[in-house]
Amino acid sequence: MTQPLLIGLAGLGVLVFLIAIRMPIAYAMILVGGVGVTLLNGPAIFMSQLKTLAYGQFSVYDLSVVPMFVLMGALATRAGLSQDLFRAANAWLGWLRGGTAMAAIAACAGFGSVCGSSLATASTMGRVALPELARYRYSGALATGTLAAGGVLGILIPPSVVLVIYAVIVEANIVTMFMAALLPGLIAVVFFILTIAIYVLVRPDAGPRGSAGERAEFIAATKGIVPVLVIFGLVIGGIYAGLYNPTPAAAVGVFLVAVFGIFRGKLDRAGVKGSLLETAGTTGMIYLILLGAEMLKIFMSRAGVPQATAEWMAHSGLAPMTVLLLLLLALVVLGCLMDSLSMILLVIPFFWPVLVEVNGGLYQTADAAGFGMSTEDLKIWFGILALIVVELGLITPPVGMNVFVISSMAKDTPMSETFKGVMPFFAAELVRVALLVAFPMITLWLPKVLGG
């Protein structure tokens, strides 16, 4: 083992230690990357890199979409879109047994389409739906578990900030990634609703039926989702149709959400100012993590850690599918310890060379079906899988961030009950992952059809 490789492995150990003692991951990556490059190549090389690294990293045009989507989500929260979505979904589904919980899942999916953040989706919909679920006497486990699980829909249903970051890292097309995410996202919604249906079939007292509303109430509630459908159609539909690329699309979304919020009287000067400040803080945090990840990637690449990992995996004697499953398992475990953006930035530089190395052994039979796993296909397919399994960490004991968010709102429900409540949804997610692994065409079909 060479000295640079030993330094690289030692750097990984220090990074894990710094994360374990709760140092912000951006600072941890900057510290380890900076010290590592200095040890390998000297301080002059490190200082020379610092002169251009930040500008080179942040001047990428694709990253300009990030603050726009963050702003769109911040404005949507203050414009009251979450209440409209839940009211409409409850009008359609609330009369079923478990219907109000199903409505919460549908509303989470709808809000995720204009928000793009799991934690924001969980916290916003928790404030809206928890009182209604309590009014209908839903069990604490089902109510909180539904909302914690529903939050994970925010990251996959386009638009998604983390999906944009992943595309930039692996140099994939953002529009193609958005296309690939749509079907897996819709499958998640269907699976979660089916999970609730099975749950209340086994335990009918956990999710009582709601009352069917009057026709006028039903029509009024349904009209409430028209703005969301228009915004989603013009933003994502415009991207899919090739009318504009993601950055102008996000600008269109920001304009539409702002006009809607102002027209309804729910978005005043203070609300706009708060949205801008929130966007600045969130975007600054994302960009700082990006800078740290780039510094760490340079250090690890110079130390040869990703290359050595790929070579070791390729010659380990493990079947390519086994390697893939081990990588996904590692993502689930690590996703319990940090947020999804940090996870994607931290592990993809290590996992991607491994996947490229073993790709030749994956899906020989898929070629005959017209879905050959080229390197470009691999980027798309694995990106969707990675996002799903990383998000599983948000509802996985003992450190499920979505669970903590919802539990902080549901004071009467012990956190242990919330973890029990998310387990059926966790099982549904494992089924979805198995489907996407077994049938990559589920992810790749829409990009192939729409992308020509």
The per-residue pLDDT for range 179-230, each reduced to its tens digit, is 999 999 999 999 999 999 999 999 988 888 766 666 677 787 788 788 888 8
User: What is the per-residue pLDDT for 314?
Assistant: 67
Kindly report which listed range (69-78, 132-141, 397-406) carries the lowest average pLDDT score.
397-406
Q: Which residue has the higher pLDDT, 41 or 314?
A: 41
Share of the chain above pLDDT 90, in %: 16
Report pLDDT digits (tens) over 243-281.
888 889 889 989 999 998 998 888 888 989 999 998 999
Quote the pTM value.
0.84
Q: How confident is the model at residue 19 (pLDDT cuts 50, 70, 90)?
A: confident
Q: In terms of Cα–Cα distance, which of 120, 101, 253, 80 is closest to 178?
A: 253
CA 380 distance to own-chain centroid: 14
Taking the C-alpha atoms of residue 207 and residue 213, their distance in angstroms, rounded to an integer, is: 18
256 to each of 125, 133, 231, 234, 369, how far by Cα in Å?
21, 31, 7, 9, 42
Q: What is the rounded radius of gyration, in angstroms, for the C-alpha atoms of the chain?
A: 22
E strand or H helix at 94 = none
CA 430 distance to own-chain centroid: 16
Q: Which residues contact 350 (CB under 8 A, 6 or more apart)?
A: 300, 305, 306, 309
Taking the C-alpha atoms of residue 197 and residue 416, their distance in angstroms, rounded to an integer, is: 22
Q: In terms of Cα–Cα distance, which of 314, 411, 294, 412 is closest to 355?
A: 314
Taking the C-alpha atoms of residue 236 and residue 250, their distance in angstroms, rounded to an integer, is: 9
Q: Which residue has the higher pLDDT, 178 or 331?
A: 178
Is it the case that residue 382 has pLDDT exceeding 60? yes
Residue 210, domain extent: 3-450
User: What is the per-residue pLDDT for 367?
Assistant: 40
Number of domains in the chain: 1
Answer for the pair 29, 292: CB distance below 8 angstroms, yes or no.
Answer: yes
Three-class DSSP labels, 303-355: HCHHHHHHHHHHCCCCCHHHHHHHHHHHHHHHHCCCCHHHHHHHHHHHHHHHH
What integer best gives the mean pLDDT of the chain?
83
Report pLDDT digits (tens) over 294-306.
888 888 888 888 7
